[in-house]
Structures are given as C-alpha cells and as structure tokens.
Amino acid sequence: MTPAIQFSPTNFIPPALADWVEEEALIAPVEPAPYWASETARLYHGETTAILRGLPAGSSNCVITSPPYWSLRDYETENQIGLESTPEAFIARLVDVFIELHRILQDTGTVWLVMGDTYASGLIAETGRRDIDRLGVSGKERGWGGLCSQLAVNPGRGSKNLLLIPQRLMLSLQDTGLFCLRSEIIWEKGNPMPESVTDRPTRSHEQIFLLSKSPKYFFNPDPLREDCVTGNGKSHGIIKGKRFGGHSQATTPVSGFGKRLICNHPKGRNGRTVWRINVEQFHGNHPAPFPRELVRRCLLAGCPKGGTVLDPFVGSGTVPAVATKYGFRSMGIDLNAQYLEMAKERIGKEQDALNNTIPAVTKQILHETDLTDCHSHQPGSHSPATASPTEETASAPLNERLYN
C-alpha cells in the first residue's frame, strides 16, 4: 500500500524559500498584550502595522483615525510614520496599514480618515534639499534645520506645489480594490491657525474620507442631520408638512429660491459634506488632538450601538475617550508611550463620569460584553443598547441601517 503523502512546505515550494515560509507564512501572529485595558477600552504600544497583524479578524466595526501627516513633525520614536523621504514612500506605508485594517474590519465596517496636505517649498542652499511646509504650521513645528528639513521632494514637482497627499492616498487605496471611497467631507475650521502667506489664501480646512469595506455597510444618517434651510439661508428647524412624492414638504410659502421649504425626513435634512468644527484647545503634550465633536459625528454615524471603534494612531486618545462617553468599546494603538498615558487618563475620566451617571443595568451590559465580540448588523437586527443616557441618545435611539 502506497503511504499517504505528508505535505509540508518543502513539498510545494523551492527549498530556498522553505525557511521563510515556515517563519513568516505558516506561523499565526500572536495577539499582542495590551499596554493598558479597561472594561471597554484597550490600548496597544508599538508600531501600528505590527500590532494590527496580531489583532483578530473582524474585531472592529469602525475605524476613526488621523495618521501623522507627511513631513510635519518628528515624534522622536523609531520607525514612526510621516518622515519618509518621499510622498510615495509615505503612502506605501499607509497602504500597508490599510491592508491590515481591511482584515480587522467587519464586512459592514467603515473607515473615517482625516488627512491634511503638504506644500513643497524653499530650496535650502546649504544642503540642496527641499524643505517641507506643512499647511498652517509654524517653522518650529516644521523642524526647520532638523530632520524634517532633510526630506527630499521630487524636483519635478517644484517649489510651492501643493502635493495632494490625501488624493494620492485615496487613489492608491482604490487601486488595492479593498475599499470603496464613499464620501469626501470638508472639515472647515472656524478658528484656523494663521499663516504668514501673501500669495495664496490661508488654508482653513482638512479632508475627511469615508471608506467602506463592502458595498453594503453600516451608516446611521441621523446624527449628521441638519436643520431645514430655505433658499435665503434661514434655518427653520424641523418642520412638519404634508406628504409630497414620498417626502415631507412644508406648505408655508417662504421668500427665497424655490418659495418652499422641503425636508425629506422628520429629524431634518440629510447631513452635508462640509462640517464647520472649531479646533479645540488641548492642555496635554500633543500637537494635534482631534476635536471631540468631529469624533462624535463619525462615531455615531459609523459604529453600531455596542460596537468597537479602532484608532490605529490613537495619539492623545480622543477617539477612545469619546467612545467611552457614548457607551462604545474601543481599541487604540500608538508608538509613543507618553501619548498612551494621556489616552489612559482621558479614558479614565470619561469612565468615572459614566460610572457616576449610568444606570446599573447598562453597567452590567458593559461589564459582560467581551471587547472583541462584535455583532454583525443586518437589516432589522439589533445589538445591546450600551450608549450613555445623554439627552440625545435617550430621546432618539440610533437607527441601525445598512446602506447601498
């Protein structure tokens, strides 16, 4: 009787590659130990891609993040993202991160990515290399004379060119076929940082990109709804009117374009793609924290109740802090342990506030829910309601829906 063939890596690949396969391809990544963990949050310390490779597939419902912008700052940690020699090298590293995010996201998951752009400007006579001018950032933050001033830019792009880093990243992600770019949102800063420029307008916005893993994904439009506005720009709040063509239409004539006020939902019109949100003051040692309001919008619109949100560049911890406030679970990763300590403190403060106000039954739900037990949301399904009893969530429960 012919013995059964025992398959091994050396049966089907060249011997020279057998050791590599054994070490790299056939050994499952070990889930990393958290730097710190609470009932609803976990923080990981290390290089983002390496940590992501150890996290379980499907362990996150939503990603909200803002990676370091190219050539802006030296965070004084080895293997940091953002100080690559070219925009192409920077984008290649981010694509590696997104490949892992695709695996970690549930099929109905979304990514909310905040990205700023970069100008190429100024030839440094001493080095012959180009300096990098991050939009709206002082010379001290740019690191003139330091590492940032040594970064090279393709000379063909020329000085003063806006490098279109966010657009280049989106095109690269589309080329992978892993994500669908669903929306570009303009974050208009009501209090932008002044710029000492005289030959162009002052930059006062950044871009937020909404990407989905699948054609059908979780999206709750209600937290983004706005008051109905007439053609003359006057807000009328939420106005009930007669049904017209499947929509609610106000019947009172108003001045301005169209003569009528139309709202297609009793909670207000669908949210627009320009968000006016002020930059918040932050007293900790972090140069670019998220505004809490920006995170709130992305979180409530993109993550189902009881779900888990991931920030692979967690920084000072705004995403997990806001997630804790609204009863979501969270995971955060950062290369800088000092930032993780800030995040830990902010999460703790939100948890303390939550413990002082949350009903006992909800505390029990939060305690018993495993952090990686993400629910698959299909039309008509519901997960445990773990949102904190704020006025918003108490009066208007989130409407969980899947959108094409």
pLDDT tens per residue across span 35-76: 999 999 999 999 999 999 999 999 999 999 999 888 766 666
Tell me what the mean pLDDT of segment 350-371 comes to. 64
Q: Which residues pair with 268 in a beta bridge?
A: none
Interval 166-187: pLDDT, tens: 999 999 999 999 999 999 999 9
β-strand pairing of 41-45 with 36-37: antiparallel
Interacting residues of 14 by C-beta distance below 8 A, sequence separation 6+? none
Sorted by where each starts, the structural domains of the chain and their CATH numbers stand as 32-117+164-224+271-403 (3.40.50.150), 226-269 (no CATH)
User: Does 395 have pLDDT greater than 90?
Assistant: no
Tell me what the mean pLDDT of segment 76-98 comes to. 87
Structure tokens at 265: 């939902």
Q: Which residue has the higher pLDDT, 296 or 230?
A: 296
Identify the sign of the CA torsion 6, 12, 15, 18. Answer: negative
pLDDT reported for residue 370: 47
Q: What backbone torsions phi and psi does residue 334 show, to the nearest 5 degrees? A: -155, 150
pLDDT reported for residue 159: 76
User: Does 5 have pLDDT greater than 60?
Assistant: no
**How many whole angstroms separate alpha carbon 68 and alpha carbon 137?**
14
Q: Which of 29, 187, 182 is nearest to 108 (CA)?
A: 182
Greatest alpha-carbon span in the chain = 93
Q: Which residue has the higher pLDDT, 343 or 125?
A: 343
pLDDT reported for residue 195: 85
Looking at every residue in the chain, the average pLDDT score rounds to 74
Tell me what the mean pLDDT of segment 91-111 comes to. 97
The lowest-confidence range among 210-219, 282-291, 335-344 is 282-291
pTM value is 0.72
